[in-house]
Structure 1
Amino acid sequence: MVLINDIFFDKVEVPGIFDDLINSAWVKRLGRIHQSGAIFLVNPNICHTRLEHSIGVMLLIRHLGGSELEQVAGLLHDISHTAFSHVGDYVFDNIEENYHEQVFEDILRSSDIPEILSWHGYDIDQVINGTFNILEQAIPKLCADRLDYTLRDSYHAGLVSRKEVKDFIKHLSVEDGIIVIEKEEKAEWINNLYKKLINDVFNLPLHIYANRKLTELIKFGLQRNELVHGDLLKDDTYLLNKIRSTTFGYEGVKAIKQQKGFDMFVKKGMGLKMKNRQLNALI
């Protein structure tokens, strides 16, 4: 057993399989990918990682009584995200923001994860082909993935306190395999928080600007063969350094940080197509 520390669940003792997975190359890579894409370039306070989210999903599934296998699936569900998270979707013009799902199986099978799972009595097909109702549900239902990013992203954006999140988690349970909320007021709270997260964080013009401008820099680099598609499967530090290795890229990243052209960007309508997101918590 090993201890994992999390801002919402504090110190949690988990089996060794999770230590092995978290220390694998592809999962460790998530610790070098910003959960909120390029937003940290204009808002340094929003700098949490895809690994923090993945561990949070795993721990939430554990808290709700999910099987060890579903906890494993929760930890691994975002393993195939590109550098800068959904910026990769914008680079590939993927409006559904699911590029990472399209390449999930190929990346998982080619990684060191299958071997690690076999050490602990699991097969990779159990993760790829399994049904995990606590982990994932279609929009707008509650699921561990949607709940964690709502709570975690909102916390890091300053929309809620750690105490509020921990109190909310106490009112979650599972019925017929679906996450439900035990109090109507808590259901209203999470539904309203989700809307606020979308409006005040995801769709904030400055944040859209950062993601759009970084997308443009990456597309330009790909067109000029200064970047290759494989660079997007590295991590944020690697990709950002490679972008900044050219004068155009260096000046482009600096311009994002200085918010150059932001007013004109807003006047022109921003131009970044965003996935339609909803949440409807059940009581």
Structure 2
Amino acid sequence: MLRFSKQIRDPVHGWIKLTSDEVELIDNSQHVQRLKYVYQLGLAYQVYPSARHTRFEHSLGVLHVSTLMTRNLLKNLERSEVKKILENLEIHDESRDGLILHVRFAALLHDLGHLPFSHSTESITIPSLVKVLNYLDGDVCRDRILFINDCLNIAKEHEWITYMTLTYNDDLLKIINETNPHINLRTVKLLLFTKIFKKLLRVEDSIRYVPDLNYLRSFEPDDFRRVELISNVLSGELDADRIDYILRDLYFTGASVSTNLTTSDIERILDNLRVINHDIVFDEKARACLEGFVIARYNLYKWVYLHHKVTLLTTLTRELVRTLITRFRDVDFEELKNYINTLARFITGQLESCEVLKITDHYLTSLLINLQLKVKNKLNYISTLIDSIIARKSTFKSLWKRDVEFLNLFEKFGYLKGLNRVIDELIDEWVRDPEQMNFFLNLFKTRLIHELQIKTSLNADLEVECINSIIELIRNDYSLIIIGYRWFEPESKISILSSDRVVSLDKVSPLVKSILDAWLISPHFFIYLNVDKLRCLNEEVMRVLKECIVSAFVNALRDYCDKYRSIASILEVSL
């Protein structure tokens, strides 16, 4: 039986209990303390002011939920199967408490790699650092940065940073060994990264950077399935991570209004957890609560994560981070140069504990304010980006905000669901490879200029001078029109046990199916105009410009998919 020495009052879960060893680690590790200063939802507080909860309380919540989930999972396993799992994970405590302790430990540390502004900068930081590797300090481990960049299709940026921190950061490893000597860090990493490790086993030379792969070389398929079963508690279709962030984000954004999902519903779901063929499924008795979970998740993605203003702030933040890293020598600001080197050391697991608190929202915000004072009237583009993020001052306006506006603009093309599927697939490509995004933007600009020229040739009543000035801006100013999106996760596929058969929830629930259908015709992206640069526009010219932008966007997608046919064929979508 686990012995708890402290209880933390949490507005989402009630009392979260901690062991004395867990408290020791939390109090003595700067890496864990850092999470108190990294907001869970990045800059979403600029739209939802109370959304200032952090990665720290989220990690505590995941620790709490994963404990409940693991206990219910173990109830579904035969003693012999549990024994094999413990052997695979190198846990020698046959009371099962050892496994639960390691799951809790992994939950507490699962978000160690999140950078300032959380997902807003996901997968843009490392590709940007690669472009300036030769200008970083000599002690930065460049090989690790290059390796991570090459493997961003295997794991997310923050997952790689978490792994590097748990593997190479001597200060953190020392604290863990002193406060929790009974914890096997390889076991923790197996719980967090087994699915990633399986993919890496096929990557040449990966063992040089991921030494834990050595242990897995002797694993049989059943060994992997057993370990993956437990790791699904932290990284599965319906896991402790998702459960906590859904509940927590609903609470702190206020998006829970009209959404009835409570901890009682989660308790009902977990009580009906079953294990079939090494997979987690849920008994149909929990169907109503599972439907409530899907509705809550849909509301969060629609009203919070993909709110048009949140998406704009995310897009501008990504552009700012990319610009500051790749052009830091042009900025001529010593503090920025030092910060980029500090960031590189953190990513590679080299940063000393005394500097870890620099990798926080608060420190970076302070640096940006100081930088803005220095570059004002010199580098206006950077100054404007900082102002947009810090003070919410932006001259960009979305072409649509509501579903009905999106439908009115795109439904005439007749394939909204196909359009969104293509966009989802391309976002994955663009985030990993910004050059692909630039290629698409060039196609889009070319198409847009062509569309506007056709309009002026066919309509003599249009203000030709105004249209021509817009065309000139499109040619020369990349900040006139921007495309905003959020790299959201794929839909979770929840399986339930219905009439002794395992089926996908959406196959037996008309409610869930209708939500998925609604999601497919909701906007997954936004197009923004810099209205400050378009002062000549009257209502008629704006209408024409909107039509041309939408038409050019769709035609550019056709052009792009013609060049990269694999995308269209994978999706079975004909644009």
TM-score, normalising length from structure 1? 0.87
Deviation at 1:55, TM superposition (A): 0.8
Question: 1:201 & 1:59 partners in 2: Cα distance?
Answer: 25
Larger radius of gyration: 2
Deviates more, 1:15-24 or 1:115-124: 115-124
Q: Structure 1 residues 282, 154: closer, same or farther in 2, change over 3 A?
A: farther
Contact 1:79/1:104 (<8 A) preserved: yes
| Alignment pair present for 1:46 and 2:47 | no
| Alignment pair present for 1:82 and 2:115 | yes
Aligned mate of 2:102, from 69, 74, 81: 69
Q: Who is 1:33 aligned against?
A: 38
TM-score, normalising length from structure 2? 0.45
Deviation at 1:167, TM superposition (A): 2.1
Deviation at 1:264, TM superposition (A): 5.5
Deviation at 1:122, TM superposition (A): 1.2
Q: Who is 1:254 aligned against?
A: 387
Deviation at 1:215, TM superposition (A): 1.8
| Alignment pair present for 1:275 and 2:409 | no
Contact 1:33/1:84 (<8 A) preserved: yes
Q: Who is 1:56 aligned against?
A: 61
Q: Who is 1:157 aligned against?
A: 253
Deviation at 1:32, TM superposition (A): 0.3
Deviates more, 1:272-281 or 1:73-82: 272-281
Contact 1:34/1:85 (<8 A) preserved: yes
Contact 1:58/1:71 (<8 A) preserved: yes
Q: Structure 1 residues 77, 18: closer, same or farther in 2, change over 3 A?
A: same
Question: 1:277 & 1:48 partners in 2: Cα distance?
Answer: 24
Show the 5 A alignment for 1:110-129: 110=169, 112-118=171-177, 119-120=179-180, 121-129=182-190
Question: 2:8 & 2:70 partners in 1: Cα distance?
Answer: 17
Question: 2:288 & 2:68 partners in 1: Cα distance?
Answer: 21
Q: Structure 1 residues 214, 229: closer, same or farther in 2, change over 3 A?
A: farther
Deviation at 1:276, TM superposition (A): 4.0
Q: Who is 2:268 aligned against?
A: 171
| Alignment pair present for 1:207 and 2:310 | yes
| Alignment pair present for 1:263 and 2:375 | no
**Structure 2 counterpart SS, 1:35:** coil
State the identity %: 22
Structure 1 gap ranges (5+): none
Q: Structure 1 residues 198, 185: closer, same or farther in 2, change over 3 A?
A: same
Q: Who is 2:159 aligned against?
A: 101
Question: 1:3 & 1:40 partners in 2: Cα distance?
Answer: 28
Question: 1:96 & 1:206 partners in 2: Cα distance?
Answer: 30
Q: Structure 1 residues 96, 276: closer, same or farther in 2, change over 3 A?
A: farther
Deviation at 1:269, TM superposition (A): 5.8
Contact 1:32/1:237 (<8 A) preserved: yes
**Structure 2 counterpart SS, 1:206:** helix
Larger RCO: 1 or 2 (CA < 8 Å, sep 6+): 1
Contact 2:311/2:486 (<8 A) preserved: no
**Structure 1 counterpart SS, 2:262:** helix
Deviation at 1:50, TM superposition (A): 0.9
Contact 1:231/1:239 (<8 A) preserved: no
Contact 1:91/1:219 (<8 A) preserved: yes
Deviation at 1:9, TM superposition (A): 2.2
Q: Who is 2:76 aligned against?
A: none
Question: 1:213 & 1:262 partners in 2: Cα distance?
Answer: 10
Aligned mate of 1:230, from 342, 346, 349: 342
Q: Deviations over 1:70-118 (max 9, x none)?
A: 0110111111111111122153366888101122221123054433443
Q: Deviations over 1:169-194 (max 9, x none)?
A: 22122322736364211111111111
**Structure 2 counterpart SS, 1:178:** strand
**Structure 2 counterpart SS, 1:135:** coil
Question: 1:115 & 1:262 partners in 2: Cα distance?
Answer: 48
Contact 1:217/1:243 (<8 A) preserved: no
Deviates more, 1:178-187 or 1:56-65: 178-187
Q: Who is 1:6 aligned against?
A: 10
**Structure 1 counterpart SS, 2:37:** coil
Q: Structure 1 residues 194, 164: closer, same or farther in 2, change over 3 A?
A: closer
The code of the aligned residue for 1:185 comes to A
The code of the aligned residue for 2:174 comes to E
Contact 1:150/1:197 (<8 A) preserved: yes
Contact 2:16/2:61 (<8 A) preserved: no
Q: Structure 1 residues 65, 91: closer, same or farther in 2, change over 3 A?
A: closer
Question: 2:308 & 2:232 partners in 1: Cα distance?
Answer: 34
Question: 1:77 & 1:169 partners in 2: Cα distance?
Answer: 21
Question: 1:22 & 1:4 partners in 2: Cα distance?
Answer: 12
**Structure 2 counterpart SS, 1:86:** helix
Contact 1:74/1:135 (<8 A) preserved: yes
Q: Deviations over 1:123-157 (max 9, x none)?
A: 211211234231111xxx21111111122112222
Deviation at 1:168, TM superposition (A): 1.5
Show the 5 A alignment for 1:186-205: 186-205=289-308
Structure 2 gap ranges (5+): 72-99, 128-151, 192-226, 329-335, 347-358, 376-381, 401-479, 497-575
Contact 2:102/2:188 (<8 A) preserved: yes
Question: 1:5 & 1:178 partners in 2: Cα distance?
Answer: 30
| Alignment pair present for 1:143 and 2:176 | no
Aligned mate of 1:180, from 270, 276, 282: 282
**Structure 2 counterpart SS, 1:172:** helix
**Structure 2 counterpart SS, 1:171:** helix
Q: Structure 1 residues 159, 282: closer, same or farther in 2, change over 3 A?
A: farther
Q: Structure 1 residues 272, 79: closer, same or farther in 2, change over 3 A?
A: same
